[in-house]
């Protein structure tokens, strides 16, 4: 299957083309916060590099968030436009599941994603199973909760770096390798293929999480 993956959940978005297990190519935007200007040209550049025509795309998978409000809307609107034009199916994936699926451990884990309002999006997992919905927490609340852990906990996501120094002394906290803490359009494409059961063209909406605590900086 030839799958186009779109991830516009962060300031610097990206696209990927996955052609089965043998071929995968990923491109990221050159500048942050330019989703509206760069996304379609980036898709065209990706297809040209892979020598694939638009008509060869069989599935589009898009990151539904949580993440940048504007970025998510642009990514989803673009994905719907491509699918309508080509008459191909569209699937959406939860961004926290993308990060968790890339972390190859069976232990407990916490996915932490950036929020531009001095908050983090956080979700805890037991193995691959979510322990609840995505929460929008202040940095102080995330630190307190993770510092209180008394079992091994892996943390992964693009909001992990600010926590390294403050949690580095905890014997329970394990940090994912740096290469896993960045957006992965390829991961979006792969997870979309695995979960593709039906066309979601008209039913998809971005995933947002309302703040549950007073905001606080790290």
Cis peptide before 66 (omega within 30 of 0): yes
Strand-pairing partners, residue 70, are none
**Residue 67 belongs to a domain:** yes
What is the rounded distance in angstroms from the CA atom of residue 14 to the CA atom of residue 24? Answer: 13
Give the residue-averaged pLDDT of 27-54.
Answer: 94
| Sequence-distant (≥ 6) Cβ neighbours of residue 81 within 8 angstroms | none
Mind listing the pLDDT tens digit for each residue in 75-116?
Answer: 999 999 999 999 999 999 999 999 999 998 888 999 999 887
Q: Please tell me whether residues 57 and 88 are part of one structural domain.
A: yes
pLDDT tier at 216, thresholds 50, 70, 90:
very low
- Look up the CATH number of the domain holding residue 47: 3.30.420.40
Q: What is the pLDDT of residues 124-134, one digit of tens each?
A: 999 999 999 99
Same-domain check for residues 84 and 138? no
For 51-80, b where at least 16 C-beta lie within 10 A, e where not — what string?
Answer: ebeeeebebbbbbbbbbbeebbbbbbebbb
Query: In the structure, what pLDDT confidence band is assigned to residue 22 with cuts at 50, 70 and 90?
Result: confident
Do 87 and 110 lie in one domain? The reply is no
103 and 172 in a common domain: yes
Tell me, what's the pLDDT at 139? 85
User: Are the beta carbons of 124 and 132 closer than 8 angstroms?
Assistant: yes
Q: Do residues 50 and 135 both lie within one domain?
A: no
| pLDDT of 198 | 67
User: Among 45-49, 74-78, 146-150, whose mean pLDDT is lowest?
Assistant: 146-150
103 and 86: one domain?
no
Cα dihedral sign, 122-185-41-31: positive
Query: Is residue 206 a part of any domain in this protein?
Result: no
In this structure, the answer to whether residues 19 and 88 fall within a common structural domain is: yes
- Tell me: do 6 and 83 sit in the same domain: yes
Q: Which residues form the domain of 64? A: 2-95+182-195
- pTM comes to 0.90
User: Is the same domain home to 174 and 188?
Assistant: no
């Amino acid at each position: 299957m030839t799958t186009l993956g779109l991830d516009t959940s962060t300031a610097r978005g990206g696209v990927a083309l996955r052609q089965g297990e043998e071929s995968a190519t990923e491109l990221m935007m050159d500048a942050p916060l330019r989703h509206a200007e760069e996304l379609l040209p980036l898709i065209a550049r990706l297809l040209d590099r892979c020598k694939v025509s638009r008509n060869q795309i069989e599935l589009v998978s898009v990151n539904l968030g949580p993440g940048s409000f504007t970025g998510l809307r642009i990514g989803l609107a673009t994905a719907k436009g491509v699918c309508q034009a080509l008459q191909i199916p569209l699937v959406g994936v939860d961004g926290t599941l993308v990060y968790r699926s890339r972390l190859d451990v069976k232990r407990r884990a916490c996915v932490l994603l950036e929020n531009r309002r001095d908050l983090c999006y956080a979700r805890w997992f037991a193995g691959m199973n979510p322990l609840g919905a995505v929460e929008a927490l202040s940095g102080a609340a995330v630190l307190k909760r993770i510092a209180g852990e008394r079992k091994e906990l892996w943390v992964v996501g693009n909001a992990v770096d600010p926590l390294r120094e403050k949690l580095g002394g905890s014997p329970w906290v394990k940090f994912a390798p740096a290469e896993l803490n960045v957006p992965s359009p390829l991961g979006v494409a792969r997870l979309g293929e695995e979960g593709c059961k039906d066309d979601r063209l008209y039913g998809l909406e971005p995933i947002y999480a309302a703040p549950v605590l007073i905001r606080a900086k790290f």
